[in-house]
Structure 1
Amino acid sequence: MLPVEGGSVARARSRSITWLITGATVVAISIFAFSRNSPSVPTPAISNPPTAAIGPAPSTSALEPVQDLEGPYAVARVVDGDTIHVQTPSGDVTVRLIGIDTPETVAPGRPVGCYGPESSAEVRRLLDGRSVYLEPDSSQDSVDKYGRTLAYVWLTPTDSVNLDLVADGFASEYLYRTPYHHHDAFVAAQASAQAAGLGMWSACG
């Protein structure tokens, strides 16, 4: 009968288990040390999408297109920044532009006003050789004390010469006694021109 080697086998198994535990411990310690010493990978920052900039509110000075206009009439002559002559079927008509005033340039016995020549030149640039439409205003007299027809002057049904002159600083808003139909738009246009220092608002102090 062969001798039983149970004691030797048990001891061998015990040594194997000890080595396995020791090896596992070494591996665990190595992994921990490596993770401590390794540079951490930064977590990418999550940025919020840029918020669209909110621009200035749309201008409220633009006029609604006008349908019932008189004309077109050929511009016969530009007197100054707020007075023109047009040729109608009934003859030559002097038109004083409603809602604006420009510095004097041709008034007898009165000096030329600051920015008057520039205003007159701008009206000539806009109107010389052109035809225009007229818009009367029921809130105003049809003619002034000098016999001039009072009207808004339009190059097209969407392009008001009166308003353009105010908006670009070539004329100031002008109210005579009773508010005219487009008064609010003209006041807003002048405020914008003044804030931007356009035309007469920077040249004339």
Structure 2
Amino acid sequence: MGFMHRIPGTALSLLLLGLAGASAPAGPSPQERPPQAAPTALLADCMVEKPTELFPVAWVVDGDTIHVDRDGKREKLRLLSIDTEEKYMPKNDSETKPSTRFGDLTAGWAQGFFMPRSPSEGAVEVGLRFPGGVEARDPYGRLLCHVVTSEGVDFNLLMVRTGLSPYFNKYGNSRIDHERFVAAQKAAMAEQRGIWDPRTNDGGSRRPYDRLLPWWDARAEAVNAHRALAASDPMRFLAADEPDQLSAAIAKGPREVTVLALIDRFFEEDDGSRTVLLRGGDKRRSVRVSIPKELRGAMEKLDLDHSYEDFRQNYFLIDGTLQMGARGFDLVGVGVEDWRLAGPEPAIPGRAPSSPADLVRRR
């Protein structure tokens, strides 16, 4: 397969060795481990329809963020359903995404993957896949998509199949290839590839996948349940991070809705009320919810101040009347009973699933 020639020697060696640990392990070397799937077999697991439109890769930031030249401008892409480990950054003490040695290795592997085969060749070209064929962006303006090689290899799937990334469903299961991502991660785990090799990052920072995966799954359950409701009534069940959908819902005026949302931040107002800014896909069209001064005491049981913490259910469903405001969308007429968790608390190993947020009424 011509695609194989694009993989640099060091990265090809890692594939042949099953993408073992990023540090020198104690005990058996990767070569002494049982034989694992050949690179061609891994590629076959990730084949999709060949793209009909190709764009040159301009820059590879790391394993899940690349830039392409498209329609006369530079596009930043955030690759869906993957989340590679962080490259080295000074003073990165994040519990959920620390800098790791494997993060540096993964970034280098991705850069080599998209490297031209020779100095005389032009930039490697790729196609883009969008959920339902609809383009969307994250709050940072990056285009959310899959990248597909000219030969039809889905790079997002390949990253999971080779153990270079977990299946990242923190914002909902993949709308493109959920079952294949699940199968790819299961196979990579069984073969102890990349991040699933217990020797990876040995002696250094490690990402706590044993707690991250159930947290992401709980959030995905909330998103998937809301998607099912939205499919039955798309003008009633909305998502705060889909501004075009919000605009369409109130094209003829304010509307009673249920909004799926993550809390972004709070603002203390001069009149004693509090404004809750919901995380949106467009900072200029975010949703705001006002908590009147007289309701603030009753709202304490919802524990909103800690709702965005790691390893807990972060999604809420909020009932109210959606209308245009001075700074985006306003969700008005919202009382304490109109807030509820959108899904279950995650089953984190060694932790009882209880918190003040459990008091939120479910329905």
TM-score of the two chains, using structure 1 as the length reference:
0.62
Match of 1:65 in 2: 48
Say which of 188, 191, 200 aligns to 1:193: 188
Q: Check whether the contact 2:136–2:144 (CA below 8 A) recurs between aligned residues.
A: yes
Match of 1:19 in 2: none
In the TM superposition, what are the counterparts of 1:1-205 in structure 2 within 5 Å?
Answer: 62=45, 65-66=48-49, 69=51, 71-105=53-87, 110=92, 111-129=98-116, 130-138=124-132, 142-156=136-150, 158-180=152-174, 181-202=176-197, 203-204=200-201
Q: CA deviation at 1:185?
A: 0.5
* Residues 106, 142 of structure 1: alpha-carbon distance in 2 compared, 3 angstrom cutoff: farther
* Residues 83, 141 of structure 1: alpha-carbon distance in 2 compared, 3 angstrom cutoff: same
Q: CA deviation at 1:140?
A: 7.9
Task: Find runs of 4+ consecutive structure 1 residues off by over 4 angstroms.
Answer: 106-109
Moved more, 153-162 or 85-94: 153-162
The letter of the residue matching 1:103 is E
Q: CA deviation at 1:160?
A: 0.8
Residue correspondences, number: 146
Q: Check whether the contact 1:77–1:128 (CA below 8 A) recurs between aligned residues.
A: no
SS in 2 for 1:193: helix
Find the aligned partners of 2:90 and 2:136 in 1 and give their Cα distance. 25
Which digits, 9 at most, give the CA deviation of each residue in 1:145-177, with x for residues without a partner? 111101100013531111111111111110133
Find the aligned partners of 1:195 and 1:189 in 2 and give their Cα distance. 10
Residue ranges of structure 2 left out of the alignment (5+ in a row): 1-40, 93-97, 117-123, 203-363
TM-score of the two chains, using structure 2 as the length reference:
0.37
Match of 1:31 in 2: none
Find the aligned partners of 1:108 and 1:84 in 2 and give their Cα distance. 22
Find the aligned partners of 2:151 and 2:131 in 1 and give their Cα distance. 15
Q: Percent identity among equivalent residues?
A: 29
Find the aligned partners of 2:144 and 2:62 in 1 and give their Cα distance. 15
Q: Check whether the contact 1:96–1:150 (CA below 8 A) recurs between aligned residues.
A: yes
Residue ranges of structure 1 left out of the alignment (5+ in a row): 1-57
Find the aligned partners of 1:178 and 1:140 in 2 and give their Cα distance. 16
Computing the radius of gyration over CA atoms, which structure comes out larger, 1 or 2? Answer: 1
Find the aligned partners of 1:112 and 1:178 in 2 and give their Cα distance. 25
* Residues 190, 141 of structure 1: alpha-carbon distance in 2 compared, 3 angstrom cutoff: same
The higher-RCO structure (CA 8 Å, 6+ apart) is: 1
Q: CA RMSD in A?
A: 2.7
Match of 2:349 in 1: none
Q: CA deviation at 1:184?
A: 1.2
